[in-house]
Structure 1
Amino acid sequence: MMILIFIISIAVLLLCIMKFKLNPFVALLVVAALTGLATGMPLATKTLEDGSQVLGIGTVIQNNFGSTLGSIGMVTGLGVMLGMFMYESGGINNICNAILKVLGEEKSQYAVACAGFITGIPVFGDVVYIMFAPMLRALSKKTGYSMAAYAGAISVATTCTFALVLPTAPPLAVAANMEINVGLFFPYALISAFVGMLVGGIVYGGFINKIDRKNGKTWDFSDLEEEEKEEAGGKSMSGMMALSILLVPIVLILLGSFSSFFLKEGTVLTVLTFLGDKNIAMLLGVLYGAFISRPYLKRSITTIMSEGADAVGSILLITGAGGAYGGILKACGISDVVTSTLMGFHMPMLLMCFVIAQVLRIATGSTTTALTVTSSIVATAVATSGVSPILCAIAVCAGGIGLSLPNDSGFWAINRFFHIDFRDTIVGWSLGGFVAGVTILIFVAILSIFQGVLPGLM
């Protein structure tokens, strides 16, 4: 019954948004409440005889809405401001021109995917989308290359590294739960992530671009055109200077992430860890961006910051509602039922690792949750299966990449920041991620044939 309710809830959500054009924020909250009711969750929080509490539907929605905004709210607002400074100074235009000069229009997606692949290791996915979105929109306007393909390329690449490449949290959790050597896991996971990015981000993105061009699909760049008119005739920031605005928060986050590997506990490490916090790093990036872009701006810094703060409101509402819907799915026990059901099927170990993680990814809307739970579930079975635990761990991670649906806050971040419609988000990101995940599964299945020969797999 739980699985049926889950399928119906996803179907109703898609119907509300695609068919009835209901605002995604409202649709997510309505479907979240209806799902809670259908699964028998209490309307109000109850205290049991043993003193424990069962949270009511309203409380679960409120808590998860708040926790989602708490994790991304500040960095989202700052990221939009950072992008506006880069754009209004003319710097993004010059970065785009440099990329086109080096690679040409038809190969610009390679640079986009590689940038996401590298940046996704130290930087949380939503932050990458926020920072790169203005540049990619300008690039799409210049080249005519599909905006859906660009959005898919960078989001697939970023998620491949987030799900597979140490020292991000999900693969660390998988390695710990499955008791595998991270030193042996790292190179195989890195290569697998690259293969997934290549097929799901670049090759599949090229396919989307061909279809969109054949169909004559266009995107709304009117906001960019108006800003370009205002900038006409004025001096603009160089591409390298604009790139430095992007690099400041990235470098700070990198230092914060990796300094503990090289430094002992002390003042220096504490300071670097503080500066590497994503919120602090983005704040410093915005302050730096405001300072160096000032001579090139046609409007005041205060006006640009205020406009950025206003623009982020609807994005945060939708993202928070996505977190609320995902919270209901977890609280009502749907993810547990789905997992136990899948364990009853007899299938090859690598495939089972992938499928369980993929279904939990769909059900919870969270890569981290899907990978952490799946690795805990399959750890014992993997140990006695005869299949390399390292390859099984990669299969688990691959299952957490694709089929992002509207209960995933990242789905709405990509949808809103890249200014693409619901269909483009599904085609470019949801399906692109699935292609990447399946590609990685096939890749590790091939590696498993040689696991007795390849070093470290057995």
Structure 2
Amino acid sequence: MLQLQITTLQPYQHILTVLLCILLLILLITWGKCNPFLAFLIVSILAAWWLGIPVNKINQSIQKGIGDTLGSLTIIIMLGAMLGKLVVESGAAQKITSVLMKAFGEKYIQWALMITGFVAGIPLFYNVGFVLMVPLIFSVVYQFKLPAVYIGLPMLAALSVTHGFLPPHPSPTALAGQFHASLGLTLLYGLVVAIPAIIVAGPVFASTLKKIPSQPLQTFRPKSIPEKQLPGTFNSFITSLLPVILLALTTVLPYLVSTNETNNTLLAFFGDANIVMLLALLASIFTLGIAQGKSMKAVMDVFGEAVKDVALIVLIVAGAGILKQVFVDSGVSGEIAGLLKGWAIHPLVLGWLIAAIIRVCIGSATVAGLTTAGIIAPVMPQLNVDPNLMVLSIGAGSLMLSHVNDSGFWMYKEYFNLSIRDTLRSWSVMETIVGIMGLIGVLLLDLVV
């Protein structure tokens, strides 16, 4: 009887260990100001030890976790960063903004900036996108004498949503890999979920913020590229959106043309995210580089700077992969799966909730998403849920309630020169709306796919 009782309690003890490891990770990153990769590495080793992995097997778990995670992800992250950087440095992002402003006029400037953020946010990583796109907001603010928060929040909502929902951004791409989801379908579903989330969190919510006082610092006045030096409109839009176009095309084509073994092989090759990003980047070297009068060396210098921008993101992703592998190798994931079968909560809500809790505690959307994947991915076969929707559900949860422990919170506060109170009631509420709207969209999609 005693032996049976101990065996029954063991899964709960292991789950308590997992929770303590996550708490330790949170404390190391927030209170201890530890580098996230180093924090992941320390916690993963301790977790392996506490969960009973033999000492001589711990290094194998570390190496497998890094290899399996980065093996399918490094190329996408690096090529995506290079493309995003070139889109901005070439003036393509500025051109997109200019065209949309002329098309929408002053009355619908919010919508123009929102679409700009969405289009440019697809290839741009969030922190890079924020720093490079916010000056475009301020150029509009200074030109039309409009409230900065009211004008800027829709673009930032769009940047946030693309960061959390859409490949080739690190978190959704990594989640798709861990859940064996289709990047193409994840992107298509993500677009369906993203659009209403951006509209509600952007123009609709921002219309309530017109009276928030904001005087953007002079330091952040934009340095515009002369109109004559900007790439053409068609060039700017097509090059920026080429990864999306190619991914969508290779996903839809099998339903439009007759398939045979040769066609399927070619579609699988050209539909692979690595090949899509490589083709898009090679095209951009010419369209936004050579054709705009830049030397090959100048283009490669831009790419070199882009790699520096995302190096830490790659390490964070690697660290999350280690922790996931420890959970798998220790067997605790199987125990969690057994317990989850008895839960009355919908699996998509569960993934969203775990990501939201970690996001609120840690502050990083990427860390929240990848840590949640480490818990959920091993039990996916038992959950009977669409893996593409699980990617989006966790992505939505990872955007919830950005506050004082999130670097994005402080970037927004300082760039817009706001009080903490006004930052909380604009930025934090906007991120929360995005997270909730994302979950609603995913649950509605789950009814029809």
Using the size of structure 2 for normalisation, the TM-score is 0.64
Distance 1:217 1:352 in 2: 45
Corresponding letter in the other structure for 1:107: W
User: Which secondary structure state, in structure 1, belongs to the residue aligned with residue 280 of structure 2?
Assistant: helix
Within 5 Å, give how 1:26-41 maps onto structure 2. Answer: 26-41=38-53
CA gap 1:434/1:217 in 2 versus in 1, 3 angstroms: farther
The CA RMSD over aligned residues, in Å, is 4.9
Residue in 2 that maps onto 1:285: 280
Q: After superposition, what is the alpha-carbon deviation per residue over 1:409-435, rounded to whole angstroms, capped at 9, x for unaligned? A: xxxxx989xx889x99x9589856641
Match of 1:105 among 109, 121, 124: 109
Distance 1:172 1:317 in 2: 21
Shift of 1:12: 2.0
Shift of 1:95: 0.6
Residue in 2 that maps onto 1:79: 80
Distance 1:172 1:321 in 2: 19
Contact 1:96 1:135 in 2 (8 A): no
Contact 2:125 2:163 in 1 (8 A): no
User: Which secondary structure state, in structure 1, belongs to the residue aligned with residue 55 of structure 2?
Assistant: coil
Corresponding letter in the other structure for 1:73: T
Contact 1:339 1:360 in 2 (8 A): no
Contact 2:200 2:433 in 1 (8 A): no
Shift of 1:287: 1.6
Residue in 2 that maps onto 1:153: 161
Shift of 1:101: 3.5
Within 5 Å, give how 1:184-333 maps onto structure 2. Answer: 194=192, 197=194, 200-204=197-201, 207=205, 214=212, 228=223, 231=225, 235-261=229-255, 262-265=257-260, 267-293=262-288, 294-296=290-292, 300-333=298-331
Corresponding letter in the other structure for 2:324: G
CA gap 1:88/1:358 in 2 versus in 1, 3 angstroms: closer
Distance 2:178 2:251 in 1: 15
Distance 2:445 2:242 in 1: 36
User: Which secondary structure state, in structure 2, belongs to the residue aligned with residue 98 of structure 1?
Assistant: helix
Dislocated runs of 4+, deviation >6 Å: 168-174, 208-213, 217-222, 359-364, 392-398
CA gap 1:32/1:377 in 2 versus in 1, 3 angstroms: same
Distance 1:428 1:6 in 2: 30
Match of 1:339 among 337, 340, 344: 337
Q: After superposition, what is the alpha-carbon deviation per residue over 1:68-91, rounded to whole angstroms, capped at 9, x for unaligned? A: 211111122212221222222211
Contact 2:95 2:233 in 1 (8 A): yes
Corresponding letter in the other structure for 1:82: L
Shift of 1:237: 0.7
Residue in 2 that maps onto 1:177: none
Q: After superposition, what is the alpha-carbon deviation per residue over 1:278-329, rounded to whole angstroms, capped at 9, x for unaligned? A: 2122212112111122243556223223333344433322221122222223
User: Which secondary structure state, in structure 1, belongs to the residue aligned with residue 56 of structure 2?
Assistant: coil
Residue in 1 that maps onto 2:34: 22
Contact 2:84 2:125 in 1 (8 A): yes
Q: After superposition, what is the alpha-carbon deviation per residue over 1:199-221, rounded to whole angstroms, capped at 9, x for unaligned? A: 64442456589789948597999
Distance 1:84 1:316 in 2: 17
Contact 1:92 1:134 in 2 (8 A): no
Residue in 2 that maps onto 1:94: 95
User: Structure 1 stretches of 5 or more lacking a match?
Assistant: 46-55, 117-126, 175-185, 380-389, 406-413, 448-455
Within 5 Å, give how 1:322-401 maps onto structure 2. Answer: 322-345=320-343, 347=344, 351-358=345-352, 365=371, 370=376, 373-374=379-380, 376-377=381-382, 400-401=394-395
User: Structure 2 stretches of 5 or more lacking a match?
Assistant: 1-12, 138-147, 359-367, 400-405, 414-422
Q: After superposition, what is the alpha-carbon deviation per residue over 1:350-387, rounded to whole angstroms, capped at 9, x for unaligned? A: x444455446767974669847845x4355xxxxxxxx
Using the size of structure 1 for normalisation, the TM-score is 0.63
Shift of 1:110: 5.2
Corresponding letter in the other structure for 1:255: L
User: Which secondary structure state, in structure 2, belongs to the residue aligned with residue 257 of structure 1?
Assistant: helix
Contact 1:200 1:432 in 2 (8 A): yes
Corresponding letter in the other structure for 2:284: G
User: Which secondary structure state, in structure 2, belongs to the residue aligned with residue 75 of structure 1?
Assistant: helix
Corresponding letter in the other structure for 2:280: G
User: Which secondary structure state, in structure 2, belongs to the residue aligned with residue 264 of structure 1?
Assistant: coil
CA gap 1:3/1:370 in 2 versus in 1, 3 angstroms: closer
Shift of 1:63: 1.2
Q: After superposition, what is the alpha-carbon deviation per residue over 1:313-346, rounded to whole angstroms, capped at 9, x for unaligned? A: 333222211222222233333433333334345x
Residue in 1 that maps onto 2:10: none
Contact 2:37 2:319 in 1 (8 A): yes
